A and B are shown apart, each in its own frame.
Chain A
Amino acid sequence: MGNAAVTVRNLWAKYVGSGDWVLRGVNLEVREGEMLFLMGPSGCGKSTLLKVLAGLLPWVIPGTVEGEVLVAGVDVLRYGYKGLAGKVGVVYQNPEVQVVTRSVFEELAMAPENLGLPKEEVRARVESVAKALGLEDYLFKDPQSLSGGEKQLVAIASVLAMRPRVLLLDEPTSMLDHLGTRLVLDLITQLKREYGLTIVAAEHRVEWAVEVADRVAVMSDGAVVLEGSPSEVFSRVEEVQKYGVRPPGVSEVAYNLVRMGFPIRIPVRLSEMEEVLGGG
């Protein structure tokens, strides 16, 4: 992992009409190829932070933003979302708002076309992203005929066709059932492992976080209050709970054991629990 893909220094932000600051002095750095999870209760500021990183606040959504934000080398507060075109992709909670065309092919072609790429290049990108994500059979289907999970795959694929350096995910599975969630999580895990994309995700699925995240930042009241590897963050069960984040099930079990007087280290992953159980 090399240079910083995202740098945030002393970031303050508020919406027109929100009165108080929603982000209150956020500092954060994400290195190239790293996957960072933003976690915290509703209203903690994680979605707002993503909106600033995407150059939407205050460029599309009116508000006030102060501080320093560099994403993929672009000074976002100076150049906004236009400066990020082709460099940063965003996937939202609800695929319904993101999937707009009448065929999956058109959907995947839209971003590269908007970047003004020649027709052959657009086609090549659509085909390569469809192949990479196993969506070849979907290309001429109507996105509206797909399940929620499949639509979200298309939304992600359409963003990837842009070949962004940084992918921003705003709770991409919160509207999906177990099948859809599994499809999307498997895909994102694959993107990280095989393509080394830098990913910043607002996400509440802690058991996925402990398996794939390099780093976790817990936010509360507009600031980052806990930060570190999943093990560093989630082994602090009481603190994590205090900030309104669900601890991993195994950590909660281990925490109960510690309170019963067992001198064990608190694991965060299922596989690490074997050590505590001691075989058999």
Chain B
Amino acid sequence: MIVFEKVSYQYPRGPSAIRDVTLEIKKGEFVGVIGHSGAGKTTMAKLAVGLLKPTKGRVLVEGMDTAKTPVSELARKVGYVYQNPDMMLFASSILEEVSFALRNLGYPESEIEERVLRALRAVDLNKPLSASPHALSFGEKHRLAIACVLAVEPDYIILDEPTTGLDYYRCLLLFEVLRKLHQAGRTVIVITHDLDLLARFSTRVIVLERSTVIGDGKPREVLGDVEFLSEHGFVPTHLLQLARRTGSEDLTPEGVARTVAARLRRQASA
């Protein structure tokens, strides 16, 4: 479990980026975090990984206080994928890139290779291990960055706007990868602006606005509430609006279609 206890964070000489946030993320959840620029999403993610320490309150990862635990210890539990993969990638080969963290954490060579291959398979990256990360396309770099985090096999994986710069097909591929990780027992936390993808894949949605949590619940409670979304400056997609209009609890196209089908059958028999 990741626990935020009355957490505030203030950047030096800056306004507070997170204010008095209390929440729990349980193992096995697939959490979507939405919010406008500057709402505090990235700050919250960095607090959960221990890259930032709260200025007030406590963050606990599996019971460990992030302020008192070395980042290397936390890294075994929580992985963080930066918004821009170029921020993470530096090595001259894919093998070196993915094994870097494992070497730092002191894994034996025999185990390293096994983990690297497993991580690359999970993100569906079929490139030679000797290839340069910098020669990859943006989407491939992103998947490599995820593989680097997966290789450590953390229980929690946090992704900061992983869909930026990806087209529709690659977004779906990426979320399919995340779904597999989730089904394999990992906890996935994704920051994104894409409401339809969250409606389709997540089990919980957290809404941040001006440094605090203003919404938290199942996708159908949060994303299904199109008035709430509009009020707070989000643009509810047509799918979400249609789900609301028809009273569909399932927010996927297939689910909304089933609701509409039932309605059309009722109309036909009336």
Which residues of A does B touch, CB under 8 Å? 41-43, 147-148, 174-182, 204, 207, 244-246, 248-250, 252-257, 260, 262, 269-270, 273, 276-278, 280
Q: How many residues of B contact A (CB 8 A)?
A: 36
Contact at B168–A270, with CB atoms within 8 Å?
no
Q: Given A253-B256, A270-B242, A278-B264 in contact, is the A42-B166 Cβ separation under 8 Å?
A: yes
A255 to B256, CA, bound (A): 11
* List of A residues within 8 angstroms of B263 by Cβ: 277, 280
Smallest beta-carbon distance B206→chain A, Å: 16
* List of B residues within 8 angstroms of A148 by Cβ: 37
* List of A residues within 8 angstroms of B193 by Cβ: 177-178
- The answer to whether B130 has its CB under 8 Å from any CB of chain A is no
Contact at A253–B37, with CB atoms within 8 Å?
no
Smallest beta-carbon distance B261→chain A, Å: 5
- The answer to whether B233 has its CB under 8 Å from any CB of chain A is yes
A260 to B257, CA, bound (A): 9
Smallest beta-carbon distance A263→chain B, Å: 11
* List of B residues within 8 angstroms of A277 by Cβ: 245-246, 260, 263
Given A280-B263, A280-B267, 5 further pairs, Cβ under 8 A: A42-B138, A179-B36, A182-B235, A250-B238, A257-B260
Smallest beta-carbon distance B74→chain A, Å: 29
Q: Given A179-B36, A277-B246 in contact, is the A253-B168 Cβ separation under 8 Å?
A: no
Contact at B245–A42, with CB atoms within 8 Å?
no
Contact at A41–B253, with CB atoms within 8 Å?
no
Can you name 8 A-B residue pairings with CB atoms under 8 Å?
A: A42-B166, A42-B167, A148-B37, A181-B235, A249-B253, A256-B257, A256-B258, A278-B267
* List of A residues within 8 angstroms of B164 by Cβ: 174-175
What is the chain B residue whose CB lies nearest that of A269? Answer: B238
Contact at B239–A253, with CB atoms within 8 Å?
yes
For B144-185 the 0/1 string (1 means CB < 8 A from A) is 000000000000000000001111111000000000000000
- The answer to whether B93 has its CB under 8 Å from any CB of chain A is no
Smallest beta-carbon distance B90→chain A, Å: 23
Smallest beta-carbon distance A143→chain B, Å: 16
Instruction: Give residues 125-157 of B contacting A (CB, 8 Å).
Output: 137-139
Q: Determine which of A244, A260, A273 lies in contact with B242 in the assembled complex, contact meaning CB atoms within 8 Å.
A: A273
Contact at B254–A262, with CB atoms within 8 Å?
no
Contact at B267–A178, with CB atoms within 8 Å?
no
Smallest beta-carbon distance A1→chain B, Å: 27
Instruction: Give residues 5-37 of B contacting A (CB, 8 Å).
Output: 36-37
- The answer to whether B72 has its CB under 8 Å from any CB of chain A is no
A204 to B196, CA, bound (A): 14
* List of B residues within 8 angstroms of A248 by Cβ: 238
Contact at A270–B238, with CB atoms within 8 Å?
yes
- The answer to whether B237 has its CB under 8 Å from any CB of chain A is yes
Q: Determine which of A204, A244, A262 lies in contact with B264 in the assembled complex, contact meaning CB atoms within 8 Å.
A: A262
Q: Determine which of A43, A181, A207 lies in contact with B238 in the assembled complex, contact meaning CB atoms within 8 Å.
A: A207
Q: Determine which of B37, B167, B169, B246 lies in contact with A177 in the assembled complex, contact meaning CB atoms within 8 Å.
A: B37
Contact at A42–B257, with CB atoms within 8 Å?
no
Q: Given A42-B137, A42-B138 in contact, is the A249-B238 Cβ separation under 8 Å?
A: yes
What is the chain A residue whose CB lies nearest that of B239? Answer: A249
A245 to B138, CA, bound (A): 18
Contact at A42–B139, with CB atoms within 8 Å?
yes
Smallest beta-carbon distance A161→chain B, Å: 26
* List of B residues within 8 angstroms of A178 by Cβ: 36, 193, 233-235
Contact at A250–B242, with CB atoms within 8 Å?
yes
Instruction: Give residues 179-231 of B contacting A (CB, 8 Å).
Output: 193, 196
Smallest beta-carbon distance A226→chain B, Å: 15
Q: Which 4 A-B pairs have the closest CB atoms?
A: A249-B239, A256-B257, A252-B253, A246-B168
